[in-house]
Structure 1
Amino acid sequence: MPQPPQYSAQPPMPQQPQYSGQPPMPQQPHYSAQPPMPQPGYGYPQSKSKIAAGLLGIFLGALGVHRFYLGYTKIGIIQLVLAMVLSALGLGFLALWGVIEGIMILVGAVYFQRDAHGVPLRK
């Protein structure tokens, strides 16, 4: 008949780690969930208002303000320079250009559905 195992009255003492002269590195906490998204206003492109862009095009389109609002700075600068040069000559067809683009923005023309960053315009 086998003998039952013998148990000691005292549990064994754990081994003490050897000190190497350097403090132990702290453990990084383990996160199971993804970190929260940063605030959207900091560095992320925000959607622009279609109504604001259209109204800027209708009322200030000759100066290219709607283009600046949508992020198309090259075309905005071109419109601004043309407005300064041609206003000295008395030509006002740039206002018509802005009104037409403002209406195109408001009705949702394909070219004006997104801003310069590719973000769709919101209503």
Structure 2
Amino acid sequence: MTNPHHRPYGPPTHLPVPMPVVEVDPFTGAPLSDKSKVIAGLLQMLPGFLMGLGGIGRLYAGHTMVGVLQLAATVVGWISFWCGFLLIFPFFIYGAMWMWFVIDGIILMAGRPTDAHGRLLRS
């Protein structure tokens, strides 16, 4: 005979489920992301400034389309830089890519950027 109080399939379902704590922006009341705008800005600006590598900060923030576009622009910038020894114009392409990455990092740090879900990145 089976025990009527024995439940072989886990705890009872009537227990409360803990809800995740969602922090909100104190000024607007909008929910905050779990990602930091300082980290996103530094990941965008430092590799962009030092190596001409862009898109890492955007990928961290969840903006995959912009991040992949900036990574592709990095490849184009590097190719134009190394081919620029013969021509003058490709150096401008590399410089424009470099400026885009650095300015985008500054905007991520100084502005009110959002993640892929539209939530503000925390300070």
Say whether the fold is shared (TM-score over 0.5).
yes
Is residue 52 of structure 1 aligned with residue 39 of structure 2?
Answer: yes
CA deviation after TM superposition for structure 1 residue 86, in Å: 2.4
Q: TM-score, with normalisation over the residues of structure 2? A: 0.60
Matched, 1:82 2:73: yes
> Please, what is the CA RMSD of the aligned residues?
3.1
Q: How many residues are aligned here?
A: 94
Spell out structure 1 runs of 4+ moving beyond 6 A: none
Larger radius of gyration: 1
Query: Taking every aligned residue pair, what percent have the same amino acid on both sides?
Result: 36
Gap runs ≥5 in structure 1: 1-22
Return the structure number with greater helix share.
2
Amino acid at match of 1:97: W
Q: CA deviation at 1:60?
A: 2.3
Gaps of 5+ in 2: 23-31, 82-92
Aligned equivalents of 2:54, 2:13: Cα separation in 1: 55
Among 91, 103, 106, the alignment partner of 1:103 is 106
- Give the structure-1-normalised TM-score: 0.60
Judging changes above 3 Å, is the alpha-carbon distance between structure 1 residues 35 and 99 closer, same or farther for their aligned structure 2 residues? same
